[in-house]
Structure 1
Amino acid sequence: MILDNRGLEPPQPMMRTLAALEKLKSGETLTIINDRRPMFLYEQLDELGYSYETVERDDGSFEITITKE
C-alpha cells in the first residue's frame, strides 16, 4: 500500500500514516511519500516496534517503507 502525503501540512502526514499502520497485519508493509523527512514519525515507529527504510527521491521528497514486525 502506498500513501502519498505530499502537499499536506503537519501533523496531517503523521496522522494519516499512523491511522494506516493500524490496519497492517504482521509482515505487511506501508510505503509513504512525504515532502520532508518525518523525524517525529521515526520516534513513534521505534516506540511501536515498526522497522523502516528511508530513501530521498530525486524530487527532494522522501519515500519511507514501514514494515510491521
Structure 2
Amino acid sequence: MTIVDARGLEPPEPFERAMEALAELQPGQQFTLLLDRMPHPLLRMLDRDGYRNEVNIRDDGAVEILIGRP
C-alpha cells in the first residue's frame, strides 16, 4: 500500500500531494495519507466526490487517513 507522508509540510503542499496520489488511484485502490492536523477541506472534497475515507488519530497525534477510490 502506498503511504503519502505529508507531515511537516506547509499548506498547500499536503493538499497537493494528496491530489497527486488521488490522480494516480485506479478503481479499487487505496493509499494512506499522514498529516499533522485534520484536513477538513480535503475530507469534504473526498465525501463530495465519492471517495472512501477512514480517519484515525494515532497515538503520536498524527492524522492517518485511508483513502480509497470506489
TM norm. shorter chain > 0.5: yes
Map 1:6-45 onto structure 2 (within 5 A). Answer: 6-45=7-46
How many residues are matched? Answer: 69
Q: Runs (4+) of structure 1 moved beyond 4 Å?
A: none
In the alignment, the residues of structure 1 paired with residue 6 and residue 24 of structure 2 have an alpha-carbon distance, to the nearest angstrom, of 17
- CA-atom RMSD, angstroms? 0.7
Deviation at 1:5, TM superposition (A): 0.4
Deviation at 1:15, TM superposition (A): 0.9
Deviation at 1:10, TM superposition (A): 1.2
Q: Which runs of 5+ in 2 are unaligned?
A: none
Q: Which residue does 2:58 correspond to in 1?
A: 57
TM-score scaled by structure 2? Answer: 0.93
Deviation at 1:47, TM superposition (A): 2.1
Q: Greater CA deviation, 25-34 or 40-49?
A: 40-49
Render the CA deviation track for 1:2-34: whole Å, top value 9, x for unaligned: 000000011110111011111000000010000
In the alignment, the residues of structure 1 paired with residue 22 and residue 44 of structure 2 have an alpha-carbon distance, to the nearest angstrom, of 14
Q: Percent identity?
A: 45
TM-score scaled by structure 1? Answer: 0.95
